[in-house]
Amino acid sequence: MAGRTGRRLAVRLLIGLALFLVAVGLAAAFLGPRLPFGGDRVAVIPIEGVITDARDVIEQLSRYRDLSSVKAVVLRINSPGGAVAPSQEIYQEILKFRRETGKPVVASLGSVAASGGYYIAAAADRIVANPGSITGSIGVILQIPNIGGLLQKVGIKTTVIKAGENKDLGSITRDLTDAERQILQGVMDDVHGQFIEAVATARRLDRARVEPLADGRIFSGRQALGLGLVDELGDLPDAILRAGKLVGIAGRPKVIQERRRRFSLWDLVTESLGPILPAGGTTPTITIQYLWQ
């Protein structure tokens, strides 16, 4: 009887140990090698490549919103920008995160943080750029290829049946009419104005000061500092240190960062086709971009 009881106890202990190891494994998969056990932390959220979707960044901000050990967030931006709506969604979510949690957000600009990448950075409390970071590119771009000649060469014809004169506006099988070009330019001007307004509001700059900088040109990090587009020069460790100082963490803060998902062949395909793929989809389309090319 005693032997049977001992075996049952051993089995229960093994099951408990297995469940504990599974829990630790799941935590490690979520949080990476640095677990948030003990002490205040600075969370680092990477934003890399062409921006086609906002969900990943928003989900990370949501998790860090309720994690009491996370006192500040650093956005590590290495992106030439991307689709307009996801860039705006991330921008708004950062402002909301700051407003509702009181946790400061610092943007760290990597090699490139231009156009939509800068749009996102502007929402942070402070922007830290390397002297040679490529940033700015406050502008909007829309590219419409015309494959009509190619289709004609291979004997393919397209038939368009529409209700509404401008329903096939932006068709890739023909040239734009003057009226269509005027319509699209109006949309572009409006979206461009939204970019300027977002930068002016978040950076507390007069719109008249931003407008001359918003012709799509790029700036080095050092140039951007002189223009008031960034707050200081430094690398990622400097940005983490700055975030820690904003919340009173003494010395170099402990860092928490989610484990990176492995880069797949499909990621390479979607990265390359980012400018012509809609967010979350695989059907080519024509999209207005906050994108430096």
| Residues annotated as part of the active site | 115, 167
Q: Which two tokens stand for residue 136?
A: 């700015």
Give the angle 231-42-219 at the CA atoms, nearest 5°: 25
Determine the Cα–Cα distance for residues 252 and 206; give it in Å rounded to an integer: 35
Which H helix or E strand runs over 48? strand 41-48
The answer to whether residues 140 and 116 touch, using CB atoms and an 8 Å cutoff, is no
Name the one residue in this structure whose structure tokens are 């959220």: 45
Please give the C-alpha separations between residue 159 and each of 147, 162, 173, 174, in angstroms, as whole numbers.
Answer: 14, 10, 10, 12
Q: What is the DSSP letter of 213?
A: G
CA 161 centroid distance within chain: 38
Q: Would you put residue 269 in left (φ > 0), alpha (ψ -120 to 50) or beta?
A: alpha
Q: Which of 152, 74, 162 is nearest to 120 (CA)?
A: 74
Q: Which residues have C-beta within 8 Å of that of residue 145, sequence separation ≥ 6? A: 172
Residue labelled with tokens 């950062």: 94
Question: CA 65, 71, 76, 77 torsion: positive or negative?
Answer: positive
DSSP code at position 51: B
> Is 198 within 8 Å of 205 (Cβ atoms)?
no
